Amino acid sequence: MIVTGQESFTTFQDRREAGSLLAQKLKRFIHKQPYLLALPRGGVEVGYEIAKHLKIPLDVIISRKIAAPFNPEFALGAISEGNVREIDHDALLRWGVSEKEIERVIDREKQEMARRIQLYRGGKKLSSMKGKTIILVDDGLATGYTALAGLKSIRSLQPHRLIFAAPVCARQNLKKLSKYTDDIICLIIPDDLRAVGNYYSQFEQTSDNEVLRWLSSTRHSYKSPN
């Protein structure tokens, strides 16, 4: 199922406003005692607002974009926890990127993933997801690779229901998520999404310290479901 709403506007003031609006669409899952996961860094700010409105705990799952060696903004895939890889091998061939080159990028991103797991979760593994309702949130879906890798990682932990939610999602890339989700909830679904930041008036880079502050606040305020 794909839910879209709020079509009357084209931009959000910031991630906090986007999270508040997204929370309204997620209220219908509250009776399921959902567990909320966010993709750092920007997704954590959106997730923080959802956690506040729904009074549910917030944690992170780490996915890292695999950028093309010739352009750090161009995604060729992503990795996530649990040794998940999602690589666009057709794109590797099309752009002449060798397996050796992509493995170097993957090794670098594995190091950053390990750093973030240590920093944001104290090096702990993800909590048990078996039989639970999980909501994965990000600040936007462009190519969809990091979200897809995260969803695959969560799905391997056998949740009962898995929901992906984001304020803005590229229509052409939603289909690739459908195999791993039970619901996809987006507020704006443009036909031609060039950059997620275009849909925010304020879209500053989020810092590690901000992520830690938001996670600490929700961990102290809301209990994890049993």
* Range in 152-156, 158-162, 178-182 the model is least confident about: 178-182
pTM to 2 decimals? 0.93
Q: Tell me the per-residue pLDDT of 93-132, one tens digit each, with 9 for 90 and over.
A: 888 989 899 999 999 999 999 999 999 999 999 888 999 9
Domain boundaries, the chain: 2-62+125-221, 65-120
Overall fold of domain 65-120: Ybab; Chain: A; (3.30.1310)
Beta strand residue intervals within the chain, DSSP E: 2-4, 35-38, 58-60, 63-68, 71-80, 84-87, 133-137, 161-168, 183-188
What per-residue confidence (pLDDT) applies to 3? 64
- Residue whose token pair is 């949740």: 159
**Angle, helix 99-121 to helix 208-221, in steps of 10 degrees:** 50
For the chain, the C-alpha Rg in angstroms (whole number) is 17
Choice between 10 and 107, residue whose per-residue pLDDT is larger: 107
pLDDT value, residue 70: 85
pLDDT at 5 over 60: no
Pick among 3.40.190.10, 3.40.309.10, 1.10.3210.10, 3.40.50.2020: CATH of 2-62+125-221 = 3.40.50.2020
pLDDT at 2 over 80: no
Q: What is the pLDDT of residue 226?
A: 46
The reply to whether domains 2-62+125-221 and 65-120 share a CATH topology is no
Which among 174, 125, 111, 120 has a CA at the least distance from the CA of 153? 125
Q: What is the average pLDDT across 141-167? A: 96
| Residue 100 main-chain phi, psi, to 5 deg | -65, -45
Angle at which helix 42-54 crosses helix 208-221, to 10 degrees, equals 20
Per-residue CA distances from 30 to 55, 106, 174 (Å)? 9, 37, 24
pLDDT digits (tens, 9 = 90+) for 165-222: 999 999 989 988 988 999 999 999 998 888 999 999 999 999 999 999 999 988 766 6
- Only one residue has tokens 């500053």, namely 204
- Residue 79 CA, chain-centre distance (Å), reads 12
When pLDDT is cut at 50, 70 and 90, the band that residue 154 belongs to is very high
b/e code 201-217 from CB counts within 10 Å (16+ = b): eebeebeeebbeebbee
Supply the mean pLDDT for the chain: 91
